[in-house]
Structure 1
Amino acid sequence: MERRIFLQKSIVVGAGLAISPSLLSFPKDPQNLEKITILHTNDTHSNIETFPATHAKYPNQGGVARRYALLKEIRKQEKNVLLFDAGDIFQGTPYFNKFHGELEMKLMTHMGYDCATMGNHDFDAGLDGFINAYQYGKFPFVCSNYNFDNTILKDVTKEYQIFNKGPFKVGVFGLGVGLNGLVAKAHFQDTEWLKPIPIANRIAKHLRFEEKCDLVICLSHLGYKPKQFLDNDQLLASETENIDLIIGGHTHTFLPKPEIHFNRLGEKVLINQVGWAGLAMGRIDFFLGEKKRNKRHDLVMV
């Protein structure tokens, strides 16, 4: 299938919701390969409704209803689909002020999100506020470099999560930005922030070699590039091993397509981020050959 056909089809299905494209080319014979579709959002910031027609920049764009319609269509077409979010689910519209995250959790559950990580604004109602909202969330949060042992979030989030979809075994973990200076101390209390790169290397190695994951995905709320934050997705890609895909957030960066970076062994790592407010949803398709699933080079990324 040609890339331009894929893009046209996705945009039409979206009916006003943009979808971030996959990479440059498809395998020559994808019919003989197993495929998994990774869908993702970031920094939706409590944007529930479509932007009004009078909006200066995003008229009639976005909205949960359109995202849900697009998700249903993709799930009809594809048998192996996972949906992730890279944080900052809360804060930004009166819906959060009124419902304190409850509505966002209910809607994400209804849309069938598989996993998410916490952004700095997901602390805005405090740890008790997150707990209150999360009772309506039926999907795991992975927060690998936040140590919640001395807080009420102990054992509420996970270090990583593994998903089995068809022949694929997918390991997912999450990294959050430092909270000092971004979040009031009263809201994160005794949460301990740990340096993300050592954590990422330890968990990615475990997922690749101990858990035998075919894909290792990081949900990152660190930010996109060095000029924005000291810890960032580009540095994460270059200073780690065993990560296939970094789904980014925090900086509201819209990448027209996933970027190819290289890890410290010279292997390819993808980075993608799709802006903010639910205006776009990322899609990346991976194809798996017939060799052993835990071998990185058996995956053809498109």
Structure 2
Amino acid sequence: MPSLLDLHPISRRSFLSGVAASAALVTLHPFAVRANGNQAHLRLMETTDIHVNVMPYDYYADKPNDTMGLARTASIIDSIRAEAGNSMLIDNGDFLQGNPMGDYMAYQKGMKPGDVHPVIKAMNVLGYDCGTLGNHEFNYGLDFMFNTLAGATFPFVCANLTKGQLASDPKQDPLYFKPYHIIEKQIRDGSGATSPVKVGFIGFVPPQIMLWDAKNLEGKAMTRDILQAARAWVPQMKEDGADIVIALSHSGIDGHGESEGMENASLYLAGVEGIDAIFTGHQHLVFPGPKDFEDVPGADAVKGTLLGKPAVMAGFWGSHMGLIDLLLEKDGSSWKIVDFTCEARPIYHRDDNRKVVADVKDKPEVVASVAAEHQATLDYVRTPVGKTSAPLYSYFALVADDPSIQIVSIAQSWYIKQMLKDGPHKDLPVLSAAAPFKAGGRGGADYFTDVPAGDIAIKNVADLYLYPNTIQAVAITGEQVKNWLEMSAGIFNQIEKGAKDAPLINPDFPSYNYDVIDGVTYQIDLTKPARYDKDGVVVHPESSRIVNLQFDGKPIDPGQTFAVATNNYRAGGGGKFPEIASDKVIFVGPDTNRDIIVRYIVDQGTINPSADGNWSFAPIGDTTVTFETGPKARDFLADFKGAEIEDAGDGVDGFAKFRLTI
């Protein structure tokens, strides 16, 4: 029989195009149709990165949203199951944090023994077979996580999260969870007879949780390299009788080479002998698909394979259902894969006018299961805490100093100055670093902060600061401040003088790593190449994009020490900023950055979030660049007259294009 490397999956699209008009509403998958007496079709279904988005509702904007929601994804599960001869449903992690319902449950309602979290209620309704953990499961602490998981009617697996020090043999690690779970499932073959197949699921979480959630995990947990754990446990799964081994990898796809402790290890996980298929996530992208991974060596974004093995990444917030369809064949007393197809099926599309059109409706049982928590979340996010004298929006956050970043920086400085005023660091000048969390990109053309002037509520603060990060401060030199900004400036493409409408933004650089530092003034010279790539690797050591960097009206002293207010993610090394790590931390606060913004607004009563223009692009002369942002940005063009920004028509996927003269 051919190996997986030799297989040529059937296209579901080409199959369906040939279905006669008189066919039933639900069309069986080709494998279910063609399976012989010794063959069976098994469909594996994935959700990933739900981030508590059970309802198709944007709590930040306080309005329905047809691009999200497990209740929507759930409504196609019945039909997707009906297309299959046999099916199983899994979740690939990051379900517990990510929107105000998650915060309401953690900070307002809490989880007592016996309570069932709304996202778990929804999953229980849908009958999941297995799940694994994502990095955001740890944001509210271990106790909250375990209380939540206790309500699930299905098991969770994780092979690389330990209760303490790593053992010399990964199989001796003191794990918090079973590393894998083998389900003996009765499947119907092509003749209609049933027999058991043993499907093993093994789970992995990014090792970086020890940095990102050090406050919750230090002294309580450790993580092992994903590939080390896989190479230890997969052979054991085979020994225990697993016919098919499925990796639940809350880890993305990175083709830059295998390295120990890597965050996005799914490509190389496919190379582990014994793993038959991989569900991926974490990156909030889609695989297979036409855009996200087409240039990654070893990844086939058309067939949906990693190193020849079937793989899927099902978007985020319920935007897609990931499907791996396997044609199994009986080999003696066990089963093996002889063919496969992969698909990430969306819940919406855009029409010719670029408007979102829902392809599915809510599943009533899921909606009913979370109705009480949904209403409580609405009441929670609508609670006013103060007023803003000017609108807060992030449409231009990547191209000009921005009010949505400004208010975060002001609040962080306000807090840190109070915390340091009587201690050993009282004489350090305080700077503040903040990034735009909602700046379009993968989130789509509506993924921007937009708070009108007037009352400001908790939902608006949550919109400004999406994550439950906690406040920290680092002590660094003026030279390190410059390097911090050099890293941030990697979000911009290099621009030649005289260029016309050159693309400005590097789409591979995440906007949450574009830090603006307030308390200094500076310009960014786009004619220079970026010193660092998106992973913090020095690629042009001679380059210096940050020019005219000043503190207190004078060129910054490279040797002067500054306190920089930031969050636990960045202070712990998140984003791989040069020399920014836990050894630089001088203050660890108990408060979330979001709570600090609320306190600042309450203290001020009315805030004035106008940007102070502390950074800009260095003039190039006779040069224009373009960038894409939300179409509502057109309402705020008048605020940027001095920046020479003009409307340049429509972009793609619902975005608007703008031109900037530098």
TM-score, normalized by the shorter chain, greater than 0.5: yes
Taking structure 1 as reference, are residues 274 and 287 closer, same or farther at Cα in structure 2, changes over 3 Å only? same
Paired amino acid for 2:235? K
Q: C-alpha distance in 1, partners of 2:284/2:133? A: 15
Q: Does structure 1 retain, via aligned residues, the 8 Å contact 2:52–2:119?
A: yes
Residue 250 (1) aligns with residue 282 (2): yes
- AA partner of residue 95 (structure 1): M
Matched residue, 1:275: 315
The 1-side partners of 2:266 and 2:278 are apart by 7
Q: CA deviation at 1:31?
A: 5.0
Q: Is the 8 A contact 1:289 1:299 kept in 2?
A: yes
How far does residue 117 in structure 1 lie from its aligned partner after superposition?
0.9
Equivalent residue for 2:146, pick from 108, 114, 131: 131
The percent identity for this pair of structures is 29
* Structure 1: runs of 5+ lacking an equivalent: 15-21, 263-267
How far is the alpha carbon of 1:170 from its aligned partner?
0.3
2: distance between equivalents of 1:27 and 1:95?
A: 39
Gaps of 5+ in 2: 1-9, 20-24, 112-116, 166-173, 187-195, 290-301, 342-662
Partner residue of 1:217? 246
Instruction: Give the structure with the higher percent strand.
Output: 2
Task: Identify which of 99, 103, 110 aligns with 2:105.
Answer: 99
* Alignment match, 2:12: 3
Contact 1:40 1:247 in 2 (8 A): yes
Paired residue for 2:181? 161
**In structure 1, what is the Cα distance between the partners aligned to 2:321 and 2:255?**
24
Of 274, 286, 289 in structure 1, the residue corresponding to residue 326 of structure 2 is 286
Cα distance in 2 for residues equivalent to 1:7 and 1:126 = 47
TM-score by length of 1: 0.80
1:84 aligns with 2:93: no
Shift of 1:2: 6.4
1:191 alignment partner, one of 217, 221, 229: 221
Structure 1 residue 272: Cα displacement: 1.4
In structure 1, distance between residues paired with 2:160 and 2:175: 14
Partner of 1:273, secondary structure, is strand
Which amino acid in the other structure matches residue 249 of structure 2? S
1: CA distance, partners of 2:273 / 2:234: 7
Report the alpha carbon displacement of residue 278 of structure 1 after superposing the two structures with TM.
0.7
SS class of match (2:322): strand
1:121 aligns with 136
Contact 2:88 2:129 in 1 (8 A): yes
TM-score w.r.t. length of structure 2:
0.38
Quickly say closer, same or farther: Cα 1:189–1:75, change in 2 above 3 A. Answer: farther
Paired AA for residue 273 in structure 1: M
CA distance in 1, matches of 2:129, 2:160: 20
CA 1:7–1:205: 2 relative to 1, 3 Å: farther
Greater C-alpha Rg: 2
What letter corresponds to residue 247 of structure 2 in structure 1?
A: C
SS across alignment from 1:108: helix
CA contact (8 A) 1:217 1:243 kept: yes
More contact order relative to length (CA 8 Å, sep ≥ 6): 1
Corresponding position of 1:265? none
Larger CA deviation: 187-196 vs 25-34: 25-34
Tell me how far apart the structure 1 counterparts of residues 151 and 330 of structure 2 sit (CA, whole Å): 40
**Other-structure match for 2:266:** 233
Aligned residues of 1:147 and 1:193 also touching (Cα < 8 A): yes
Match of 2:67 in 1: 61
Distance 1:176 1:48, change over 3 A: same
Q: Number of residues paired by the alignment?
A: 276
Deviations 1:246-291 (A, max 9, x none): 11111112112662233xxxxx322211111111011111112232
Q: Using the TM superposition, name which of 93-102 and 80-89 deviates more.
A: 93-102
Q: Is the 8 A contact 1:37 1:283 kept in 2?
A: yes
Q: In structure 2, how many angstroms separate the alpha carbons of the residues matched to 1:116 and 1:221?
A: 10
Separation in 1, partners of 2:68, 2:36: 33
Superposition RMSD on alpha carbons, in Å? 3.2
Q: Indicate yes or no: 2:59 matched with 1:29.
A: no
